[in-house]
Structures are given as structure tokens and as C-alpha cells.
Structure 1
């Protein structure tokens, strides 16, 4: 494939992003679902490609026709196929760039309950996924045991992680897993938004959601900003390097972060090959994708800049824009190359996985949330619920609806939570290691590991945070007094 064809393929992604934005603007019900334009554009590309339209055109056109497979030529889809696995590295490398990491004590004091709750739900998704796969999906439908990891990969990891793990699914002999994960990620977002909004309305009528009315209504512009962004907008004074274009400078930082991750990856593979891999014949690290290590590379770059006292050279807003662009490209290319045949051939396991994941996540929010989150359990748990059914932007959206004026510390705690959450689950090291662990040791060993971790976090949350309710109420009054003085 020529460089010109690859470049043209990228231009077509831009066309579908614009079409997705236009459709979203013109379609009220899509705006109410708060779906990003990139997801709409990706599904539009799927519809006009060989999976849908192509099945119609192939019956009326000759095989040599340009539109035999739909409106998207085959060479464009060939160019798009590897993009999710490449661009996920940019998204994760930029995750902590430009964000000063607060002390562990400060993180724990504010977001400790949300951190424990988040890990409980995520590892619980693995545990119930193993139970469902081992006792139902594999013996009844012949589903690959690796399906045990799909709930967490798709629901917490989202489209980006699902697409990024495509090469790992292929290497482990479960290529259809990536398509199933992408489909589940879409179901998760729709479920999280629709059910989340319904829960807020019911809770508001019952007096549980006390801050929905806020001090002012959310404007359409604010709603648009939440649903079309993927991170936090941070304000700080930023010094722009004069010797290099700021965008090029920040792209270079992302590139360095990915390179550091690659060096770490190759070092770990070499270490494993010369030690326990050679002794036992068990190889795990060679299946670990690059993107969680690229995230560590981004943290290394950030810490180096902080140590040198030049962290204000990194503009978090520009980093977020680079990450957002990469995620948009990733989503359009991943959804456009999604195989509907795979989902159709596995429709019953697909539905069972989706229902089981949604049921566990909703149960954890509504039943465990009040017991594990000492203060503002509804607002805090709502953000986690949105993230654990779709993506962080869904959690931000639901919190903004339930607490539009930030009268609770939920949003602040949600941001702090990511520092001790994202490096491990939701696309982090545990998520990327889950498939190799199941492959090498089997689902029962993986169940023992994830089930034990789930129980540890659950018991700790119930025992440690429940007695703190009285102190939490005092902290609530202090926080509200501070917000009022502002």
C-alpha cells in the first residue's frame, strides 16, 4: 500500500468525523444520549462499508466495481485496521502528561472510598465474567475461555482499550474477541447513559439526589463540552518553547513517552525470556501490549519535568487535544472495521455477557455504594458507575447532571481516583495482563486471583469506611462552607 493511499485514508476519517458531528447536531435523540461524534461517525462508516451497504451492492454490482463492497474501498479499510492498536498508545501516553500528581495522602483522603469501590467493581467484573464463561458460555456455546475478560475490558476499558487489545486477542487465538469487546463497549455506553439518567431522575424524586437542581441549569454548551471531551480542562500558566512549535513540542513529548514504554516493554520481555520464562516455559509479558507501559512513560516524562522545575512547559489543554484527536481516529477506524458477522455468530453469549456485566455494575452502585462510600455516596458512585459502564466521559456527564454546581467533592474525588485506578484497571496493567493470565493459567486460577482481590477490596471498604460516616458528615459541612465562601 502506497503512502498516498494511507494519507487518503486519514482524510476519509476526517470526513466521517465531520459527518458524525453534523448528524449529532441535527439529531436530538443522539444528543440526549451524549454519544461523541467519533462514535456516530464510526458507526456511519460501518453502515456504508462492506458489513452493511456492501452486502447490498455486492448483489447488484460486478466484483471489479469500485463500490462492490460499499462506499469505502477495501484499501481504506486495510489502512484503518491497524490504527486502533497504534493510536491507543498516544491516548495512554498523554494520560498523565501535564498533570501534577498530588501526594498519596491527599488522594486517599479525598478519593479513598472511590478508589476501593472502583477496584471492587472492576475485579468483580472479571470474577463474574469467569463464572459466566466457565459454567455457561464455554460448555454450552463453545466460547473461548478468554471471553472471561470481556466485561472489564469493554465496560471499564471502553472502545479504546477494546480496540487496543486487538493484537493480543489475535496472538492468543481469539481474534473475534476484539469485535465482541467493541460491541460490548457500545452497549455499555448506551446502558450507562440511559440507565444512569433514569436512576438520577428516580433518586431526585425520592430525595436521594439532592443537588440536581443546583444553583443554575446546565447550558447546551456545557452539555456539549462534556459529551465531546475525554479529559479535564486544566488552567495554569504555560510557557511555550520558542524554538519549536508548541504542537510539535507536545507531540514529541508523547512520542518520547511511547518510546520509554517500548524500552520498558522490551526490557521486561528480555527479563522474562532469560529468567522464569526459560525455567517454567510460561510467557506472559510478551503478550502485554504497549499502551499501559506508554502511560508509565508519560508519568516518567512528567516527573522529569517536575524535577527540573520546567513542568509549566507542558500545556495540559494541548495534551488533551492531542489525546482527543488520537481517540477520535481510534474510534472511527475501530468501529468502521468492526465485524458484525462475529457478533451475529455469537449473539447469545454476547447478550449474556452484556446483561451480566450491566447487572453486576448496577447492583454494586445501588447496593454497595451506600455502604462503601461514607459521604455523598450517590454523586461519588454515579461517576464510577458511568466510567464502569462506558468511559470516564460518561461518569463526568452523570456527575454534572446530578451535581451541576459541584456542591459535593465527587468530581474532585473522581479526578484523584484515576491516579490510583487507571494504571491498573480500565486499560492499565491488570487489564492488559488479564488475557495472558487466563491463557497461561486457565480461568479457574484467574477466578481465584480476581475473586480474592474483589473480596479483599469489598471487605476493606465495608469495614474501614462504614464507621467514617459521622466524620464524613462533618467534612461535608466543611466542604459546603468552603464552596459557599467562594
Structure 2
């Protein structure tokens, strides 16, 4: 009963956050999600900040539950990721080969265009990897400097990674950080989770505000192609709801009938079932005390298991039974509850102990992110370089939706090819990040910060090499028409 009531309180914070977002223009201008707004209401009015004078008296055992929730709920969130990947069945591959063989030579121009899009997407992927791994590298370097100079003492092993995790991963990544460190039996997991929530909040607000300033400057200098500015956002996007019934989007297509099983129930069962198999697999591995992989976090097993399940379903031509919109909505639901729980249980006093190094890190890494997103986009792209730069800035300081918001300011109708390139490259970078997280944390905890620095360094070097391989000749806008 306590678990149900504690969840209902979180639901109340979410609804309160939605109402405040709809009514307060300042919150609308920041595009803060209802989960973040509601979470901070619960934190500021709860016992963690106000103590015995709390306006919302949340019991201590509920706070403990809330602190654990992000690490638990992140498992089904990660488990839903593979459903967005397209695995072709043997029949589809055979049909595709036949169609290619039958195509006339006149389609070569279209193939060349597709090749250019692929190249741009891969270059964008390399930029995202360089910036996200660069954030981790800078954070660890600053942490090393703080300890070496006695500027800050008694820093925990992974301190410095939270800025990169919060900036490029957002609030949902706090659950990944907490879950990973908890699985490694690190006593500071709750503190690291709280620091990640803090940096994610600073990142999303800072990214949007800096992005708007850069967009206004770019508009005056003529860097933008379709700029209409922040005022172009429709009212429903600012307020966070759509009151016009005719304009309300569909939740997703029903792939099953209610006479057997509700489609939402089926998709939820598929995700939770995969998560359960991941727990079972990890339990077996830990029972037999398998070295190395026995310390891999549960969410890593969840994504591996679900990739396997999804691949088998695709080979059996069963991909039609899964609707990606529904799985995305389920993941979003879990993420909303994970975020509000992480913020309500944020250990404020512990985080304030590290507030000075956190502020220094946030300032340095934000400047690095803005500078590199702007410079690399301008250097590597010709047409639509600024549109790509703000999308990169948004996603590497907030979350994917932050990048989309900034992109929409400069490309309101998504007429440029940036949205498609950005979506694919972001998805691949997210998977790479989930792979590298446990490796980096394992090295930091077991080998120390100097060895830990090698992980982002190698990732950056690999991304740079990859970028130059796929980039080919510099892309510049064509001002002259080609003769037929």
C-alpha cells in the first residue's frame, strides 16, 4: 500500500508540474518538462530542504524508495531502445537485392544523394561522440587537478563524470549513474545521482538560453536559412498540452485486439518481460561467479537481451506486432517517474558540499560544448551548418528534445535534412554511450582516474579517425547548376 501511495504522490507532482508549466510563462520559456518542475516543487517544499517545517511531509522511507526508483525504472527505459532499430529479415534482404539488380542506370544520381546524406549523418555522429566524450574528459581532468592541488579533498572516484552524463544524457541518465554505482557497491551512488540531476538541470536551462542568444546573433549575420525565431513556437508547445481535439496526435497504432490483449498491455509486457529475462541472466552469471561480466549493470543486460529478442522477431517477420510509438511512450512514462523521483530525493546537503567544483566544471564544460558545436559544424559543413550546430548544442547540454527545440527555432518546418541526420546519429551515440559507461566507471573505481582518462581519450581519437574516413572531400554549398 505504501508503494502505491508513494507513487501517487509522484503522480501528483507530475500533474502539478504540468499545471505550472501551462500557467507560468517563465517556465514555458525554459521548456522545462513537467517532471523537472514537479520534482523541484517536491524537493523545495519537502523535508530534505525544509526539514521539520516541510510543507509537504514526505516520510523518510518514501524518500529512500524515490532514491532507488531511477535505477530501477531505467531498466525498462533502456530495454525499449532496440525497438527503434531496423533489422531486415532474409526475405526483405533478398527482395532488396533483386530490386537493386533491376534498377536502371538513371537511379545513380539518387544513390549519390543518399550517399551524401549517409556521410553527413556519420560526420554528425562523430561530432556528438567527440563532444560527449570530451565533456567526460574535461570533467575528469578538472577532478584530477582539484585533488592534485588540494583545492577539493576527498573526491569520490567517479567525480567529474556527472557533468558529461547530465549534459549529454539529461535527467534520465541520473538513474543510470546511480544504478551502475550501486551495482558496483559504491556508497556514494546516491550523491553521484544527485549531482547528475543538478548538472542536467543546469545544462538544459543553459543550453536553451545560450542557444537562443546564438540564434539571434546568427539571424543578424545571415547564417540561418529559415529563421523565424522563438516566437514561432505554437502555444501548445509552450504550454505543454493540445486543447484542439482535431490537432491531437495519435498515441500509436494498435497491433493487437482488445479481445485478446490490449496493445498497450502487450508492449508493456514485452518490455517488462525482456527486463525480467535480463535480471534472470544476471542472476545466473552472478551465481556461477563469472568474472568481469558478473559486475556489468542490469540495464546493460536489458539492452543486450532486448536486441536479441527484437532481432529474432524481425527474422521471423514479427516486427509488425511492435509499434515504435507505443514503446517510446512507455519509455517516456518510466522516464518521467524516474526524473521526478530523482529530484524529490536529491541529497541537497551532500551536493552543496561540492558546489564550487561543480560550478567550475559546469562553466568550463558548457563553454567547451558551445565552442566545439559551433566551430566543428562551421568547419565540416557548408549548407545548414548553423542548423546542425544548434541541434548539437541542444542535445549535448540537455536532451534530444532540447536539440529539436533549438533546431525548430531556425528550421520551423524541418525543411532541411538536419532532423533525419540528427535523429539517427543521436540514437547511435546513445547506444555507444551505454556501452562505454560501465567500462569507464569500472576503470575509474578499480584503476583510478589516470587510467580512466584513457577511455574518453581513445573514444575521441577513434571518432576523429572515423570522421575523416567518412567525410571525404569538404562539403560546400553549390551555387552553380550542373549541366545536364
For the superposition of Structure 1 and Structure 2, which TM-score range results when normalised by the shorter chain?
0.7 to 0.9
Instruction: Pick closer, same or farther for the CA change 1:460–1:234 going to 2, 3 Å.
Output: farther
> Match for residue 262 of structure 2?
245
* Aligned ranges 1:379-398 → 2 under 5 Å: 379-398=387-406
Once residues 318 and 18 of structure 1 are traced to their aligned partners in structure 2, the CA distance between those partners, rounded to angstroms, is 21
> Match for residue 58 of structure 2?
72
Once residues 96 and 375 of structure 1 are traced to their aligned partners in structure 2, the CA distance between those partners, rounded to angstroms, is 32
Match of 1:111 among 121, 133, 144: 121
Match of 2:313 among 290, 299, 305: 305
Cα deviation for residue 300 of structure 1 reads 2.8
* Aligned ranges 1:295-374 → 2 under 5 Å: 295-373=303-381
Q: What secondary structure does 2:351 align onto? A: helix
Cα deviation for residue 55 of structure 1 reads 5.1
Instruction: Pick closer, same or farther for the CA change 1:188–1:260 going to 2, 3 Å.
Output: same
TM-score (norm 2): 0.83
* Aligned ranges 1:35-434 → 2 under 5 Å: 35-54=32-51, 56=53, 70-97=56-83, 100=86, 108-137=118-147, 139-142=150-153, 143-170=155-182, 171-175=185-189, 176-213=191-228, 217-223=232-238, 238-241=254-257, 242-263=259-280, 265=282, 273-274=289-290, 277=291, 283=292, 285-373=293-381, 375-425=383-433, 428-434=434-440
Once residues 286 and 174 of structure 1 are traced to their aligned partners in structure 2, the CA distance between those partners, rounded to angstroms, is 21
Once residues 101 and 42 of structure 1 are traced to their aligned partners in structure 2, the CA distance between those partners, rounded to angstroms, is 38
For each residue in 1:251-295, what CA deviation from the matched residue of structure 2 results, as whole angstroms up to 9, or x when unmatched?
A: 111012213433554566678x54xx4xxxxx5x44432223323
**Contact 1:292 1:423 survives alignment (8 Å):** no
Once residues 183 and 438 of structure 1 are traced to their aligned partners in structure 2, the CA distance between those partners, rounded to angstroms, is 22
Match of 1:16 among 9, 13, 16: 13
**Contact 1:126 1:148 survives alignment (8 Å):** yes
Higher mean alpha-carbon deviation, 47-56 vs 100-109, is at: 100-109
Match of 2:467 among 425, 449, 461: 461
Q: Number of aligned pairs? A: 445
Once residues 222 and 182 of structure 1 are traced to their aligned partners in structure 2, the CA distance between those partners, rounded to angstroms, is 24
Instruction: Pick closer, same or farther for the CA change 1:293–1:234 going to 2, 3 Å.
Output: farther
Once residues 226 and 357 of structure 1 are traced to their aligned partners in structure 2, the CA distance between those partners, rounded to angstroms, is 33
Aligned-residue CA RMSD (Å): 3.1
Cα deviation for residue 301 of structure 1 reads 3.0
Cα deviation for residue 240 of structure 1 reads 1.9
For each residue in 1:380-421, what CA deviation from the matched residue of structure 2 results, as whole angstroms up to 9, or x when unmatched?
A: 232222111111111111111121111211110111113421
**Contact 2:21 2:239 survives alignment (8 Å):** no
Cα deviation for residue 49 of structure 1 reads 1.0
**Contact 1:111 1:413 survives alignment (8 Å):** yes
Instruction: Pick closer, same or farther for the CA change 1:8–1:211 going to 2, 3 Å.
Output: same
Once residues 207 and 226 of structure 1 are traced to their aligned partners in structure 2, the CA distance between those partners, rounded to angstroms, is 33
- Unaligned 5+ segments in structure 1 are 58-66, 228-232, 278-282, 479-486
For each residue in 1:43-88, what CA deviation from the matched residue of structure 2 results, as whole angstroms up to 9, or x when unmatched?
A: 001011112232545xxxxxxxxx7xx5222233233221111111
> Match for residue 443 of structure 1?
449
For each residue in 1:434-455, what CA deviation from the matched residue of structure 2 results, as whole angstroms up to 9, or x when unmatched?
A: 2111111221122233223313
